[in-house]
Amino acid sequence: MDVSVERGAIPDSTAPEPGGDSAEAGCAPQAAPEAARETAPAVTLLICTTCRAPGNDAPPDAQRDGARLLASACAASLPEGVAVEGVAVEGVSCLANCKRALSAAMVRRDGWTYVFGDLSPDSAADLLTGAALLAGSPDGLMPWRGRPDALKRGMVARIPPLFPKETR
Amino acid sequence: MDVSVERGAIPDSTAPEPGGDSAEAGCAPQAAPEAARETAPAVTLLICTTCRAPGNDAPPDAQRDGARLLASACAASLPEGVAVEGVAVEGVSCLANCKRALSAAMVRRDGWTYVFGDLSPDSAADLLTGAALLAGSPDGLMPWRGRPDALKRGMVARIPPLFPKETR
C-alpha cells in the first residue's frame, strides 16, 4: 500500500506518516553540504507536496495540489513592496498535517518555526509574503501586523528556537 | 486585555499569538549560553503552559492544565524499559495550537520536530515515551512502532530538519 497516498487522500492520524520518503525538489540554490549550514537563507519555506485539497477526488497518480502550490511558489511574484530576499522554497513529502491540508511550514534560522494549514493551490503569494515578514523580523517571530489573512486563519502551530530563548 | 488568557480560553486563530511572552521554567539543566548549543540534549520537549483543556472554565488566574502537564512531565517516571536520557523538558508560553489544546512539541537536535495536540494533563508519560523514542532514533524521525496512541491520534505536524535532508 502506498501509505503517502492514503494519507494525502484520507487524513487519518492513526496511520503512520510516510517517513523516509525522498526529498522533493524546490527552487532554492543548492549549496555544498559542508557550506550549507552557514549559508542557509534566513527562512526556508517547506511546502507539503503530497497534500490534496479537501474534496479533490482526482486519481492518486494525478499531480497533487501541494505540488501545484510548490510550483506556484517557485514561480510567484511577490506583491509590490515585499522583499523575497532571504527566503528559500523547498518541497517536502509529508508534514503530517493532513487534517488541515494543504500545508506548509516556515523555519526561521535561529528563530521560530511556523506551521500553516487550510491553504489552497493559490496560496503561494500569501506564503511568500509571510516568509518575507519572518525573514525580516528583528526578533525571529512573524509579526501579526501585515500577515496575510490566510496565515492568520490557517495558523496550526509555532515552535520556538532552542537558542536563543529570549523571545519565548 | 491579556491576549494569552483569551487564546488559552477561547481558541481563535484570527487573534494574534501572545508573542514576546517570557520564557517558562522547565526541568532541564541550564548550561551557560555559549556552551548551550553544543551541549543541548538530543530532544527538547516543549510543553505549552497556557493551554486549558477543552471545557475547563476555571478562572483565568487558576493554574493552567498545560502548566500541570509540564509539572507532571518534570516529575514523571517513565514506563519501565524506556530511557529518558537525552531529553530535556521545557515550558513555553504559547505554541499557537489552541484549537487542539493541550499541546506540546518535540525538537530533535539535527532531526525532525513534532507537534502534538489533544493531550491531557495526564499525558506526561506518553510524551516522555515519545521523546525517548525520538532521542534514540537512528534517522531523526520518531518511529511509529512503539509510539503511544496519544501521539498517533494527537499528531498535528512534523517538520524536517534543514540539515541533513536525507530523511525527507
- What is the ipTM metric for this complex? 0.81
Give yes or no for residue A11 having a pLDDT over 90: no
Interface test with A, best of B44, B70, B95, B162 (most A CBs within 10 A): B162
**Mean pLDDT across B90-102:** 93
**Mean pLDDT across A98-123:** 94
Q: Does A32 touch chain B (CB under 8 A)?
A: no
Q: Which residues pair with A108 in a beta bridge?
A: A43
B106 touches B125 (CB < 8 A): no
Give yes or no for residue B21 having a pLDDT over 70: no
B41 touches B29 (CB < 8 A): no
Residues 36-95 of B with CB under 8 A from A: 36-37, 40, 44, 46, 92-95
Query: Position of cell 527552487?
Result: A27
Q: Does B166 touch chain A (CB under 8 A)?
A: yes
Work out the pLDDT band at A81, boundaries 50, 70, 90. very low
pLDDT, residue A57, reads: 85
Give yes or no for residue B71 having a pLDDT over 60: yes
Query: Higher-confidence residue: A127 or B164?
Result: A127
Q: Looking at chain A, which residue has its C-alpha nearest residue B43?
A: A162
Residues with Cβ < 8 Å from B81, sequence gap 6 or more?
none
B134 touches B147 (CB < 8 A): no
Mean pLDDT of chain B: 80
B53 Cα to chain A: minimum distance (Å): 17
- The domains located in chain B, with CATH, are 3-167 (3.40.30.10)
Query: Higher-confidence residue: A153 or A36?
Result: A153
Interface test with A, best of B17, B159, B165, B166 (most A CBs within 10 A): B159
**8 Å CB contact of A144 and B17:** yes
Work out the pLDDT band at A103, boundaries 50, 70, 90. very high
pLDDT, residue A29, reads: 54
Q: Looking at chain A, which residue has its C-alpha nearest residue B148?
A: A14
Among the residue ranges A66-80, A131-145, B24-38, B119-133, the one predicted with the least confidence is B24-38
Work out the pLDDT band at B24, boundaries 50, 70, 90. low
Give yes or no for residue B13 having a pLDDT over 70: no
pLDDT, residue B78, reads: 57
pLDDT, residue A43, reads: 93
Q: What CA–CA distance (Å, rounded) separates A95 from A49?
A: 9
pLDDT, residue A1, reads: 33
Interface test with A, best of B115, B139, B144 (most A CBs within 10 A): B115
A18 touches A3 (CB < 8 A): yes
Sheet containing A87-92: order of strands: A87-92, A43-48, A104-108, A113-116, A155-159
**Terminus-to-terminus CA distance in chain A, angstroms?**
42
**8 Å CB contact of B95 and A36:** no
